[in-house]
Amino acid sequence: MTTSINYEDKIPNNVDLSSDRRLQRALEGWQPKFMNWWGEMGPALETHGVYLRTAVSVGRDGWAHFDHVNVPDYRWGIFLAEPKPDRRIAFGEHKGQPVWQQVPGEYRADLQRLIVIQGDTEPASVEQQKLLGLTAPSLYDLRNLFQVNVEEGRHLWAMVYLLHAYFGREGREEAEALLVRNSGSPDSPRILGAFNEETADWLAFYMFTYFTDRDGKYQLGTLKESAFDPLSRTCEFMLKEEAHHMFVGTTGVDRVVARSAQLIREHDTLDIGKHGGIPLDIIQKYINFHYTVSLDLFGSETSTNAANYFTAGLKGRWMEERRKDDHQLTEHGVPLDRPNADGTWTTEELSALLALNLDLRGEYISDCQSGIKRWNKILADADLEYRFALPHVGFNRNVGMHAGFHITPDGSIVDEATWQKGSKNWLPTNEDLAFVRSLMHPVYERGKIASWVAPPTNGINGKPFDYEYVYFH
């Protein structure tokens, strides 16, 4: 197994693709279909060179090379992290046994399903972000959008490689279907709800890359623990790339909050819409929406599927090997607060094995809190009293035990009329969305930026903010 990346092949890779002619031919047959999809569903804005990073190795240091690339010429490829010698299964009933290099027959359907669901999210976000380049607030932001897009495309390649290499005809059919489903399509939508939502403005993009890509980080983290070694190594490298997507979200929201705080101070009013800024209460509504839609991606609080995946060794917990328990979860219980029809809450004990989605969601929630702390510090540093908060975990939910209940951001269970009346204060209204969209004018001049967002503190790869990140001719 080679680990240096070969850019001589038609499909760049570090899996020695050329030694398996059949697989190479199959993937080379899929490649033009991918390029057609990219041409149709990828970024709508035409450019002549974007300052992108391209993976050149999978080791810890210096794995990426930066240069201007014409986006359709980006070299998408198949990169797995270095194999770990004598890696053992860390959890479940096969704990301690050597990891698998091939798919065990009894787990074939489950592994294929996990790979397809992960694979389906990758092109979906490219489709959701198709039009964003037309309203980019700066060349720096435009470059970051394209970087996120090409890497989501590469993450699709990562999953398609696994489907082709290990799942035979069915895998090839699933790889084709990944290009047939489209985000928001009435006939063949993407599998998960959050990936059918529109990302129509840049505040939504920053929120998506903060909250929804962060869900991706946790899902990849559980698959990185998998006993199926090729999946584990694929996800380990994907996590390297995913870190930049979350950086775009974290710093993007930082910069919106900083600019809004600056305008509030300048004009001595929270009502900064007329001064070209995004009011803090609208930012809070966007947080509420994107956070709760992302919580739905964790599935139901109790899940026999997740329990079965864990026991079989297919999908572990976040940071599984750092956990100080038996890694089999036969003895443990966890508390769960369940909403009741009479407006009260009941705490019940749930077996840890059935509560794996809850465990992962808890890790995610505490990570999301770190963003809220950052954004509140920006407000505090500007001497403003306003503070952001994550809403209650039951608020605005369509999946799991809270679905069907009307729960306010503070965790009160209310009737539908109360909910309808309050929701305009909690979630973005059509007027809010129209207002934010009205601010979205493209700024393509070097060193210039839109009125509603602050410039970044640092550029990319040591370049200044006013670097020519994107060429238009």
pLDDT reported for residue 64: 85
Q: Is residue 36 part of a domain?
A: yes
| pLDDT tens digits, one per residue of 364-417 | 999 999 999 999 999 999 999 999 999 999 999 999 999 999 999 999 999 999
Distance CA 247, CA 268 (A): 31
CA 295, CA 316: separation in Å to the nearest integer?
A: 19
pLDDT confidence of 63, banded at 50, 70, 90? confident
pLDDT value for 3: 63
Q: What is the mean pLDDT of the chain?
A: 96
- The H or E element that residue 338 is part of is strand 333-339
pLDDT at 452 over 90: yes
For residue 308, being part of any structural domain is answered with: yes
Residue 66 lies in a domain: yes
pLDDT of residue 320: 96
Number of domains in the chain: 1
| pLDDT greater than 90 at residue 319 | yes
pLDDT class for 330, splitting at 50, 70, 90? Answer: confident
Tens of pLDDT, residues 370-380: 999 999 999 99
- Percent of the chain beyond pLDDT 70? 99
Query: Looking at the domain assignment, is residue 288 inside a domain?
Result: yes
pTM of the model: 0.96
pLDDT for residue 255 is more than 50: yes
Judge whether 8 lies within some domain.
Answer: no
Q: What does the pLDDT read at residue 56? A: 85
In this structure, what CATH number is given to the domain that contains residue 248? 1.10.620.20
pLDDT of residue 130 exceeding 50, the answer is yes
* Cα 365 to chain centroid, rounded: 14
What is the DSSP track for 408-420?
-TTS-EE-HHHHH
Domain that holds residue 437: 17-471
Overall average pLDDT of the 219-238 stretch: 97
Ranges of beta strands (E only) in 194-332 are none
How large a percentage of the chain has pLDDT more than 90? 95
pLDDT of residue 204 exceeding 80, the answer is yes
Q: 61 pLDDT band (50/70/90 cuts)?
A: low
pLDDT category at 90 given cuts 50, 70, 90 is very high
What pLDDT does residue 1 have?
A: 46
Phi, psi of 39 (to 5 degrees): -60, -35
Amino acid at the residue 47: T
Q: Are 254 and 246 in contact (CB under 8 A)?
A: no
User: Is residue 3 included in any domain, yes or no?
Assistant: no
Domain annotation covers residue 314 = yes
2: in domain = no
